[in-house]
Structure 1
Amino acid sequence: MNPFTFNTANSIRFGAGMIKQLGEIVKNGFGTRVLLVTDPGMIATGLVEHALAALKDADVEVEIYADVQADPPEHVIQSAADHAVRAKVDAIVGLGGGSSLDVAKLVALLACSNEKLADAYGIGNAKGPRLPLVLIPTTSGTGSEVTPISIVTTGSNEKMGVVSPVILPDVALLDPELTYGLPPQITAATGIDAMVHAIEAYASASPNNNPMSRMLAIEALKLIGSAILTAVHEGTDRQARADMLLGSMLAGQAFANAPVAAVHALAYPLGGHFHIPHGLSNALVLPHVLRFNIVTTPQPYADLAPAAFPELSKLEGQERAAAFCDALAKLALDCGLQPNLRAMEIPEDILPKLAADAMNQSRLLMNNPRPLTEADALAIYQTAF
């Protein structure tokens, strides 16, 4: 067996009503003054009040930074870090979707280490130390609460990543009740995103692809595959919501250690140029990238297919891998997601630019099981159009 490294959050707490334990977790482990990092949408939902009540009950003082944006730009991260420094907080709590959690990770780093954000980009460049960190997801998709990755929008539309075990949280707190109010479109997009994490982790060409990640990826697909349509169309189903949140976390653990590949590389330019939510960007290119990959490397996808779609177990090899691609495309449609780039009002003449930008994601493309050129990327976008 090849050697590998597997890192994850120091502590994971999962369960309905778990948010009520937040105050005691912080007070007993990290201090009595925190910065809560979230976004305006979370404030509007009222979910932040649950966190504030738990912290207040434990006599923990709270500063709030609620200006996180989707696809967070550098200035938002620096503003939040400056807030943490001025407030002299003991710890950082991130509450929300992937953007809020990603910002919280970097705030914990920048407010403590004196590192500059520009120096932290890349793999292993963030050195720390950081402030204590608790992450609380409110969507079932990014898995950010258990990943050593934070994605930042640089310039007008480019995305870069900070990848380091230093930014893994001390505590990932998962409460399915926080996801009950997710609208169907967000439930669908984030759910497909989590499936992509599991699929790409399992098939990753990374030398750190490992048995633990593959096991977690399979279990994630079982949970999400059986729950996603119920969660989308019957959003108050408690079991479906719990399965989605747990599946998302398991997929996060998988790809945190066996990194994702070309699906994400081609999705990022869609988000950067058109501000399409990350999960939807992944869904739009997913079946097309997989159809490209199975030409030379069908087996990982044939292995995975029955986990998400048990009825595919009767097929074998290339046929099963191709059916897996078709089933994923149909699932996105059944969830109510847009079918193609044209439906997102993306002009066809920008496809060459998207392909060129995708090639900048070298840290992701190197993990793809089939080498992919700029011409290949353009052909995939054209098929997805």
Structure 2
Amino acid sequence: MQLFKLRTRLSKFDDFVAFAREFKLSEHDLVITNEFLYEPFMKALDLPCHFIMQEKYGMGEPSDKMMNTILNEVKGIEYDRVIAVGGGTVIDISKLFVLKGMEDVTDAFERKIPVVKEKQLVILPTTCGTGSEVTNISIAEITSKHTKMGLADDAIVADDAVLVPELLRGLPFKFYACSSIDALVHAAESYVSPKSNPYTRLYCRAAIETILDVFKGIAKEGPDYRFKRLEDMLMASNYAGIAFGNTGVGAVHALSYPLGGNYHVPHGESNYQFFTEVFKLYNAKKPSGDIAGLNELLCVRLGINENPYPVLDELLGQLIPKNNLRTYGMMSEEIQGFTTNVLQTQQRLLANNYVPLTEDEIRDIYRILY
């Protein structure tokens, strides 16, 4: 049984200039990024690359329509390497652009075509949550299905992941908070995954310890404390990505996808709404398994003796308030529809649950959080 893999080379540079020089960016590179990153970090370098500014093709998180519009834009451009400089949206889009014969990205997500890698992929994350620079997963809203779907395949794994802490500096605090909470969710779900093992739990523990330490610093000193720990949080997000890239994630992500797909709630914020409620249920159903080790770790880092989830909720709430699901526009009559949607479209994730959840239990979580 395979325990661990990391196909991606990891590099770190103090600034984008050093990265561009070392990686010899050229006219053979397609750079997918955002204008707000291009202006301060890339424009002055006058690089000969082909640049795509993601926000020109749609705002928010990636969708099949956004990806296909960009795909049509780059037809006819000769490039050997895709350079993704951005957050989860840019990274998820870029992963599809290394595939051979891509005409409609929905065909790849629905596995209607062979998924074959044709170009090199280099990823520079500019948020501290997705860990997508080291995973084989791309997530997009499939508009015809009103939900998000994931493509998990080693063909879309980055050849190089490059950590540049300065790229986090312009990230607004809400996006920082949501993305870093997402990294915590990744580490926690990976820790209790049926596929977890001593190797992946090493990365989970390192991620959780760092993230909670930074969160406590923010709670004590305020949002600007994050600037003292940009590299730490970027590394913690990467640790969590390495862990869940090997184990997968579970019900927190599965339940969050209909909310994100229907009401366009950002991925990290959506996961945050479900995080502790799912883990409270896990703990109630099987307190003696791997979750016992996670609970002990959380208690130690939070400085308490038992039941870490109320205290964890309180700490996370000091970063960003948790909302009732109706805040986003969800209606009570959608609870059953969301439940059915999860069971029909998210079995890939539900297979990674710490313990199986019944239809009634999933429905109850939506009701509690509604």
**TM-score of the superposed pair, with normalisation by structure 2:** 0.89
Equivalent pair of 1:81/1:108 in contact (CA under 8 Å): no
Q: Does 1:213 align with 2:208?
A: no
Amino acid at match of 2:229: A
Equivalent pair of 2:64/2:106 in contact (CA under 8 Å): no
Q: Does 1:268 align with 2:257?
A: yes
Which residue of structure 2 lines up, in the alignment, with residue 36 of structure 1? 31
Q: 2:17 aligns with which of 4, 17, 20?
A: 20
Structure 1: where are the runs of 5+ without partners? Answer: none
Which residue of structure 2 lines up, in the alignment, with residue 373 of structure 1? 358
Q: Does 1:120 align with 2:89?
A: no
Distance 1:295 1:250 in 2: 28
Q: What displacement does 1:352 show?
A: 1.6
Distance 2:188 2:51 in 1: 38
Amino acid at match of 1:85: K
CA RMSD in angstroms, aligned pairs only:
2.5
Q: What displacement does 1:114 show?
A: 4.7
Amino acid at match of 1:133: L
SS of 1:332's partner is helix
Which residue of structure 2 lines up, in the alignment, with residue 200 of structure 1? 189
Distance 2:205 2:48 in 1: 39
Assess, with a 3 A threshold, how the Cα gap between structure 1 residues 82 and 65 changes in structure 2: closer, same or farther.
farther
Q: What displacement does 1:228 show?
A: 2.6
Q: 2:42 aligns with which of 30, 47, 51?
A: 51
Q: 1:131 aligns with which of 108, 119, 122?
A: 119
Q: How many residues align?
A: 363
Equivalent pair of 2:141/2:148 in contact (CA under 8 Å): yes
Which residue of structure 2 lines up, in the alignment, with residue 383 of structure 1? 368
Distance 1:20 1:229 in 2: 33
SS of 1:103's partner is helix
Q: Does 1:85 align with 2:75?
A: yes
Amino acid at match of 1:358: V
Provide, for residues 332-358 of structure 1, a one-character-per-residue CA deviation record: whole Å limited to 9, x for no partner.
Answer: 211122343244343222222211112
1:140-159 superposed matches below 5 A: 140-156=128-144, 157-159=146-148
Give the stretch that moved more between structures: 80-89 or 303-312: 303-312
Structure 2: where are the runs of 5+ without partners? Answer: none
SS of 2:98's partner is helix
**TM-score of the superposed pair, with normalisation by structure 1:** 0.86
In percent, how many aligned pairs have the same letter? 30
Equivalent pair of 1:123/1:164 in contact (CA under 8 Å): no
Distance 2:203 2:97 in 1: 29
Amino acid at match of 1:12: L
1:323-338 superposed matches below 5 A: 323-338=307-322
Q: What displacement does 1:254 show?
A: 0.5
Give the stretch that moved more between structures: 128-137 or 195-204: 128-137
Distance 2:112 2:352 in 1: 17
Distance 2:231 2:308 in 1: 25
Q: What displacement does 1:170 show?
A: 1.4
Distance 2:90 2:280 in 1: 33
SS of 2:320's partner is coil
Distance 2:353 2:101 in 1: 34
Distance 1:68 1:101 in 2: 15
